[in-house]
């Protein structure tokens, strides 16, 4: 059943408040990788590069606050995180410049879209909506860890499984250098780490940027978040 109100501003779709389709993977990113199958669920693959959209966002939000975040995020990935990083660079110091608030709001928006598109219960995201839409201070109930994706095999990623646009929910964490695993089915639980007291965790890959996001439960003790 279609939602009657905008998922962001909560206005009812009627008259001036027009229903639009918002991309899960922002259009600005799809344009960077036109050859990609945008596939982020085990059961769905999107071949036509129009990507998955969700039609519960009003034109005002979509073309306003959300579009501004996409412009920032798209430019950020294009200028600093677009191409594969060569293996020889694995020990190099690589400097990046990120405007944290804008970046975090962009990631929160993508997460919220993703959860809705997958029909995952995400009422815990409500507290972030004012931050996404307006200049409201960010809640500290989430953490974003960021790293770079470096292909450590001698073969170019394109040769086997190049997926520069990925989102994976509740990825397994390993207590070794393997780090975050994007695979859905892992053969064993060797050295796996459990994050307690979370509503959800996401691993996101855009280009060579990898983000690991933890949404903490509301009453999660501060000590646990460290
Ligand atoms: Zn709206």
Buried b (16+ CB within 10 A) or exposed e, 147-162: eebbbeeeeeeeeeee
pLDDT per position as a tens digit, 143-186: 999 988 877 777 777 666 677 888 888 877 766 544 555 544 55
Which tokens is 210 given? 């990898």
The confidence score (pLDDT) of residue 71 equals: 96
Q: Is residue 64 part of a domain?
A: yes
ipTM computed for the complex:
0.99
Q: Is residue 194 part of a domain?
A: yes
Q: Is residue 113 part of a domain?
A: yes
Q: How far is the CA of 13 from the centre of ligand 1 (A)?
A: 9
Residue % of the chain over a pLDDT of 90: 43
Q: Is residue 105 part of a domain?
A: yes
Q: Rounded to whole angstroms, how far apart are CA atoms 85 and 87?
A: 6
Q: How far is the CA of 26 from the centre of ligand 1 (A)?
A: 17
Q: How far is the CA of 132 from the centre of ligand 1 (A)?
A: 11
The confidence score (pLDDT) of residue 45 equals: 59
When the pLDDT of each residue in the chain is averaged and rounded to a whole number, the result is: 83
Q: Is residue 8 part of a domain?
A: no
- Split into its structural domains, the chain has a count of 1
Q: Is residue 177 part of a domain?
A: yes
For residue 140, give its domain range.
Answer: 19-225
Q: Give yes or no for residue 141 having a pLDDT over 80.
A: yes
Give Cα 140 distance to the centre of its chain: 18
Q: How far is the CA of 107 from the centre of ligand 1 (A)?
A: 18
The confidence score (pLDDT) of residue 220 equals: 75
Q: Is residue 2 part of a domain?
A: no
């Amino acid at each position: 059943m279609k939602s009657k109100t905008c998922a962001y501003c909560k206005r009812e779709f009627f008259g001036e408040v027009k229903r639009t389709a918002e991309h899960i993977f922002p259009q600005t990113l799809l344009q960077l990788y036109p050859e990609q199958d945008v596939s982020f669920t085990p059961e769905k693959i999107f071949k036509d590069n129009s990507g998955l959209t969700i039609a519960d966002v009003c034109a005002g939000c979509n073309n306003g606050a959300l579009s501004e975040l996409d412009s920032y995020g798209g430019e950020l990935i294009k200028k600093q995180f677009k191409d594969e990083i060569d293996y020889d660079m694995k020990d190099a110091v690589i400097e990046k410049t990120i405007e944290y608030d804008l970046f975090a709001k962009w990631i929160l928006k993508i997460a919220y879209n993703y959860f809705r598109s997958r029909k995952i219960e995400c009422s815990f995201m409500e507290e972030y909506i004012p931050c996404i839409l307006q200049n409201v201070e960010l809640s500290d109930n989430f953490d974003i860890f960021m790293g770079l994706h470096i292909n450590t095999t001698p073969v170019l990623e394109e040769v086997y499984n190049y997926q520069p646009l990925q989102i994976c929910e509740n990825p397994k964490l390993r207590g070794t250098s393997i780090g975050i695993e994007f695979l859905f089915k892992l053969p064993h639980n060797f050295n796996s780490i459990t994050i307690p007291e979370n509503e959800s965790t996401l691993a996101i890959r855009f280009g060579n940027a990898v983000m690991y996001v933890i949404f903490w439960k509301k009453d999660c003790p501060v000590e646990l978040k460290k």
